Structure 1
Amino acid sequence: MVTVLLGLGALGLSMSVLAKNYIYDGTKEELLRKAKKVNLAIQNYPVQADQTAAMLAFLDQTFDTRIWVFNRQGQIISTSTQDEVFIGKSVARSIVEQVMQGKDVVQDLKFEGLTKPMMSVVVPWGQKDEVFGGIVLHAPVEGIEETVGNMREMIVWATLFGILLCTAMVSYLSWTISRPLKRIDDVALQIERGNYKQRVIVETEDEIGDLARTINRMASTLDHIETERTDFEKTRQDFFANVSHELRTPLTAMQGFLEALQDGLVVDEMSRQKYYDVMYKETMHMSRLVNDLLELVRLEKHEVNLVKRPIDMDSFLRRIVFMFKEEAAKRNLELHLDVVVPLPAIIADPHRIEQIFINLVNNALKFTEQGSVTLRAWEKSGGIEVCVEDTGVGISEHDVELIWERFFKADRVRSRKEMGTGLGLAIVKELVTLHHGTIAVDSRVGEGTKFTVWLPGETEQE
């Protein structure tokens, strides 16, 4: 605003000075032309002749100027008005000398009796070879001063209007800049206090809008990081709680049996053997739990190195079915294998692939009370798709997304009965991902569950 005001002031001052000089210069040039016309009109008249006075009066009315005529001595000998107050007075000697040399003089002359400001020009009076004296033309400068004054007044009013306009513009700009900045500052304070849900609502497309959108992206990133941190903390707490629970259950049972044996409460050998058998099973359960935990941690940290080689999936799946034939018979379940030959060869780690399907078939048998478990395999998308389907209790829609988490058990009563660790499916998912495959589940409560594993073929891996 200061810059604009200084510019307006400098421009107004320059315009007024230039306008005044232009008007004064134009007026002086016009007076000189009029003075030379007067000289042409009276140069042949005798001094103080009636014709000269009449001509001066006529020219006064025509040019709207006062005309004086002085002789070679500088004395005023005739005027264009009837007022004789100036007749006999003298013009400055320096002006007379210049006029007698044939020069024009333009300057402000001061005479007694002139009360109004006048602009004066002096030209020689006479002909080329003879100079009789000089002719003085006076023009009032009141109109010029009034014009310049009006111009300056307009400039002042324009400057005042510029001040008001600049004030309004600066206030508006300040408001449009400071308001979103204040909003950004408030949101930044909320973010500093940990409220990452706050957002800046700025709809402008300027730099402030860019800053607001950057703040919003930062808040969104921090909110995401905080959510992940909270989820990780919850997962960590759940992990320790689950590990503690899974270890405490067999340890409590073993402690009870050991105390009974130590106190001599079990006297016959058959009962002691039963106690030993239970403690052995609990020890094996803890060993499996620890091994599964270590295995899962290694998989998640990508510390497992696969020893890949070609696998004939037809004979491999037949061997898996053969391994669980006896277990299925004990549970009065049917175990089927349905292979669409030929199956393409895959390049994988046989031990890890066996671990995947042993977990899936074992789970299918555990959660199926009657009916059957079926393994199906066929070629698909350059690889092999294997489906493990059962007619068991199924998994609820809410639990389907949670079965891949560590220690999650969809049927906790049956899980305790079967002594599961709750880590099998988490390990399976990591192993399938490690082989660049996919695994999906489709289940309905009371109807059964189907796990579908796709593994890339030899050409796909190349």
Structure 2
Amino acid sequence: MKLHPDYKKVIIMRKKINSLHATLVNNYIVFLILMIVTLFAAVVFIYLITTQSITKTQIPSGLSASHIAKTDYRKIDAKEINKLNGWVEIIENYKIVYLIGNKSDNNNIYSQKDIENFYKSGYIENGYLHSAAWFQGEDRKNYICLVKIPRKSLNARYTLFFTINDPIEGSSKRTLLFVLESFLIIVLLLIINISLYSKITYRKFTKPLELITAGIKKMAKENYETRLDYKAEKEFVAIRDAFNDMADKLQASEAARKETEERKKHMLLNISHDLKTPITTICGYAKALNADMVSEEKDKKKYLQYIIDKSIMVNNLINELFTYTKLDMQSYPLKKEVADFSEFLRETIASLYMEMEDKDFELNLDIPEYEISFSFASVELYRAITNILNNCLKYNPKGTVISINLTDEEEKVILTIRDNGIGMSEELQKNVFNEFIRGDAARQSDGGTGLGLSIAKTIIELHGGSIMLNSQLGKGSEFIITVGKGK
């Protein structure tokens, strides 16, 4: 068995789409795993923060000179350094030019060697930790920012939110703060996880429902172009696809209904036009004859002939309209019989041979000599083919060449009727099979009804066939008729 090329793709897509139940279970499992991981990470993090102590041999990076130095040294933030009984010195040419905090030593001038030592990591002198960094001030001068902190002040321990400086009570405070901070972080993580879970659930379930509701409301307002487009679980996908299929059918049905209404209006307008002109003529001549306004016998005969011609025209129009209306009914029965289509086609063409001779048309035939037998409605197909040929005769000039070719295939026959006449414009080709369309696309009194090609198309489609037109202005037209060999 040969599989459709998209078969594997469809299987993969189906595997990727979960049900609502599976999605809920998966989300809940992910939620639990995420909670366990975050809680464990929170406990470890809090424990590390709570038990962390700053080294006694190096100033913390957040309090180092390179971290706090600014071009405008008057705006240096040294609050944390001051809390640790430290201070900040701004040095220019080995002299202190600015001080932030309470200086506890007596050094106001430094040597080159002192400056070099200050730059060493973890440098300690007289119980003070040093951190130095060069920077350029707003006045483009070079300065040195020097941070000094008493070594004993760095025995403090830090928690996440609090600082414990008391070495005696530090242990009990750390325990209390550890419990408090753990509780706060766990509550915060719970809120974050629940919010995320709620948001995901909302997007998974509430969002498709809102889109479906909005789509139904638009459809209720006869907006049949509405379509649903979202990605969700298979239950929602099934609703989406069913909604879009329904919308496609409703839109097509509405378009067909509007087209039918327009065609009916157009038909009524054209019927009234085509009946009004000859009837007006008939009435005019009849009144003239009745009022003895015509004295000459030959004029009376001429007027009577006008009345007869116009009456025939009206009768033809009514007959064509009656035929078209019957064929347009779904319940119209075709009386099919098995016959030789090749012979039928020859007889049909022969019935119009005199008209072709009158217009000096050249006829080329290519019809198989052997019998092509299948079931078809000969009366209706005769009308369809003669309507097409009459159309060629009526609108093409004398000397036109008509070529008729019949191709026999296993399940169908293809009849091609081609001429080298005037051809048709692209606009006319789009509407030529509609009702009341004439060869020049204009409403003129040329004796035609404008229903011939429409009737031909309907008859061919009732046989399960099709008709196509290829035409070019000045080069002629080609009708390609396909008829199935139905039983």
- TM-score, L = length of structure 1: 0.58
> Aligned partners of 2:414 and 2:195: how far apart in 1?
76
Q: Structure 2 residue aligned with 1:297, among 318, 321, 325?
A: 325
Q: Deviation string for 1:82-111 (max 9, x for gaps)?
A: xxxxxxxxxxxxxxxxxxxxxxxxxxxxxx
> Aligned partners of 1:189 and 1:351: how far apart in 2?
51
Output the amino acid matched with 2:486.
Q
Q: Does structure 2 conserve the Cα–Cα contact (< 8 Å) formed by 1:321 and 1:336?
A: no
Q: 1:362 to 1:220 in 2, by over 3 A?
A: closer
Q: Which residue is equivalent to 2:467?
A: 439
Q: Which residue is equivalent to 2:311?
A: 283
Output the amino acid matched with 2:367.
V
Q: Which residue is equivalent to 1:397?
A: 426
Question: Larger deviation: 239-248 or 379-388?
Answer: 379-388
Q: Deviation string for 1:359-414 (max 9, x for gaps)?
A: 12211111111223435344420354433332321122222232221212231459
What aligned pairs does 1:15-414 form with structure 2 within 5 A after superposition? Answer: 158=186, 161-163=189-191, 165-171=193-199, 173-174=201-202, 177-179=205-207, 181-205=209-233, 207-208=235-236, 211-382=239-410, 383-412=412-441
> Aligned partners of 2:185 and 2:441: how far apart in 1?
89
Q: 1:158 to 1:452 in 2, by over 3 A?
A: closer
Q: Does structure 2 conserve the Cα–Cα contact (< 8 Å) formed by 1:346 and 1:455?
A: no
Q: Does structure 1 conserve the Cα–Cα contact (< 8 Å) formed by 2:363 and 2:401?
A: yes
Q: Does structure 2 conserve the Cα–Cα contact (< 8 Å) formed by 1:335 and 1:374?
A: yes
Q: Deviation string for 1:128-169 (max 9, x for gaps)?
A: xxxxxxxxxxxxxxxxxx999987996686456434532453
> Aligned partners of 1:171 and 1:339: how far apart in 2?
74
Q: Does structure 2 conserve the Cα–Cα contact (< 8 Å) formed by 1:341 and 1:378?
A: no
> Aligned partners of 2:194 and 2:425: how far apart in 1?
70
Q: 1:433 to 1:185 in 2, by over 3 A?
A: closer
Structure 1 ranges of 4+ moved more than 6 A:
146-153
Output the amino acid matched with 1:394.
G
Say whether 1:461 aligns with 2:473: no
Q: Does structure 2 conserve the Cα–Cα contact (< 8 Å) formed by 1:325 and 1:335?
A: no
Q: Deviation string for 1:223-274 (max 9, x for gaps)?
A: 3332222222212211221222222222222222223223332222222222
3-state SS of 2:445 partner? helix
> Aligned partners of 1:239 and 1:447: how far apart in 2?
31
> Aligned partners of 2:247 and 2:480: how far apart in 1?
40
Output the amino acid matched with 1:461.
G
Q: Which residue is equivalent to 1:416?
A: 445
Q: Which runs of 5+ in 1 are unaligned?
A: 9-145
> Aligned partners of 2:464 and 2:244: how far apart in 1?
37
> Aligned partners of 1:328 and 1:414: how far apart in 2?
25
> Aligned partners of 1:323 and 1:387: how far apart in 2?
18
Shift of 1:284: 1.7
Identity %: 25
Q: Does structure 2 conserve the Cα–Cα contact (< 8 Å) formed by 1:321 and 1:335?
A: no
3-state SS of 2:431 partner? coil
> Aligned partners of 1:175 and 1:386: how far apart in 2?
59
Q: 1:334 to 1:158 in 2, by over 3 A?
A: closer
Output the amino acid matched with 1:353.
L
Output the amino acid matched with 1:406.
E
Shift of 1:206: 6.1
Q: 1:181 to 1:354 in 2, by over 3 A?
A: closer
> Aligned partners of 1:386 and 1:175: how far apart in 2?
59
Q: Does structure 2 conserve the Cα–Cα contact (< 8 Å) formed by 1:338 and 1:374?
A: no
Output the amino acid matched with 1:430.
T
Shift of 1:208: 4.9
> Aligned partners of 1:309 and 1:180: how far apart in 2?
57
> Aligned partners of 1:223 and 1:252: how far apart in 2?
43
Q: Which runs of 5+ in 2 are unaligned?
A: 1-31, 37-173
3-state SS of 1:347 partner? strand
Q: 1:204 to 1:351 in 2, by over 3 A?
A: closer
Q: 1:197 to 1:294 in 2, by over 3 A?
A: same
Q: Which residue is equivalent to 2:100?
A: none
> Aligned partners of 1:315 and 1:406: how far apart in 2?
31
> Aligned partners of 2:369 and 2:444: how far apart in 1?
36
> Aligned partners of 2:405 and 2:231: how far apart in 1?
57
Q: Does structure 1 conserve the Cα–Cα contact (< 8 Å) formed by 2:224 and 2:247?
A: yes
Q: Does structure 1 conserve the Cα–Cα contact (< 8 Å) formed by 2:365 and 2:403?
A: yes
> Aligned partners of 2:408 and 2:200: how far apart in 1?
67
3-state SS of 1:431 partner? helix
> Aligned partners of 1:223 and 1:302: how far apart in 2?
22
Question: Larger deviation: 231-240 or 154-163?
Answer: 154-163
Shift of 1:356: 2.3
- TM-score, L = length of structure 2: 0.56
Shift of 1:326: 2.6
